[in-house]
Amino acid sequence: MKYALLLIGDPNDPACGEDGGANPEEFFAFDQEITAAGVVVDSFALEDPDMGVSVRSEASGERVVTKAPFTETSEFVGGAYVIDVPDLDAAIAWAKKSPGSAPGGRVEIRPLAPY
């Protein structure tokens, strides 16, 4: 089954530390490990949240574009893996190994829709 591992950070989390969570070398090592295991279908990293924009609808239905930083929340998606593993337990095991689940971050696991 295919799952998305969404790497979510929060720079305002007190557990995050002054560098914003896990260091890049930890992510590079994890990337090598999960790729070597043969479960990665695809992966990507995103630029910092301040490079993003958000599009949402107002009550009137008008679309509004907001440039980062976003005041609604401090959490951001830093990247993702799409993995193909036998079950949710296997996806959880990979999420636990990810530096993204260290203090100051979290990994959200979502099954890919079959359509």
Domains within the chain, CATH numbers bracketed? 2-47+75-111 (3.30.70.1060)
Task: Give whichever of 5-14, 22-31, 55-64, 87-96 has the largest mean pLDDT.
Answer: 87-96
Per-residue pLDDT of 37-72, as tens digits, reads 999 999 998 887 788 888 889 889 899 888 866 556
Q: Is residue 15 classed as helix, strand or coil in its secondary structure?
A: helix
pTM, two decimal places? 0.81
User: What is the DSSP track for 75-111?
Assistant: -EEEEEEEEE-SSHHHHHHHHHHSGGGSTTEEEEEEE
Single-letter residue type at 43: S
Contact 66, 54 (CB under 8 A): yes
